[in-house]
Amino acid sequence: MLSGVLITVVLAQAAAPAGPDAAEVERIRKALAASPAITLTPAEPRDGPVFKVRIEEPIPGKPWDHWSNVPAYIRPSWPLHHYEFLEQVTPEAFRSATLYPIGIDIVPIIQYVAKQLSAARRKAREEQAREEVRSALEQVLACRADPARPGC
């Protein structure tokens, strides 16, 4: 609080900045009066309605994002208490298959299925957006054709 008061007092006592030089002001006036080097033409207005669609979709995470570099036969893939429970209730003859399951590598299969599902979901969303734009355009054109129509 005190530092804010001190800064305010110091700034209030500071000398006012000097005004711009007359030659500098004249140079700025000449620069503003000169024709610009680049001239942009405004875009021509459209006659019809303009529809803009923005599709947002959360990107799902990969199922192997939280995997470890430690192999599954060393580190169980479930919580420790679950592993210990299975160790206690599983007979000795079945422990290797239950506690350390080994199978085919399903990562490429999961990647392929996820890619196909993502493409199908995107295609469905795009088609839904197109249909929404079509119906909105039909409503606008119907209202233009008959303004007395209800809902216009």
What's CA 84's distance to the chain center, in Å? 42
Whether 98 contacts 86, CB under 8 Å? yes
Average pLDDT over residues 23-49: 83
Q: What is the pLDDT of residues 88-122, one digit of tens each?
A: 888 888 877 766 666 677 788 899 999 999 999 99
In this structure, the number of other CB atoms found within 10 A of the CB of residue 61 comes to 8
- Non-local (6+) Cβ contacts of 21 within 8 A are none
pLDDT score at 77: 61
What whole-number distance in Å separates Cα of residue 65 and Cα of residue 141?
49
Q: What is the pLDDT of residues 40-86, one digit of tens each?
A: 787 787 788 877 888 787 777 776 666 667 665 666 666 777 778 88
| Strand, coil or helix: 110 | helix
Positive or negative, the Cα torsion across 137, 140, 144, 145?
A: positive
Q: Report phi then psi at 53, rounded to 5.
A: -125, 135
pLDDT at residue 141 tops 80: yes
What whole-number distance in Å separates Cα of residue 111 and Cα of residue 63?
9
Alpha carbon of 35 to those of 23, 27, 39, 41: distances in Å?
Answer: 20, 14, 9, 15
Whether 117 contacts 63, CB under 8 Å? no
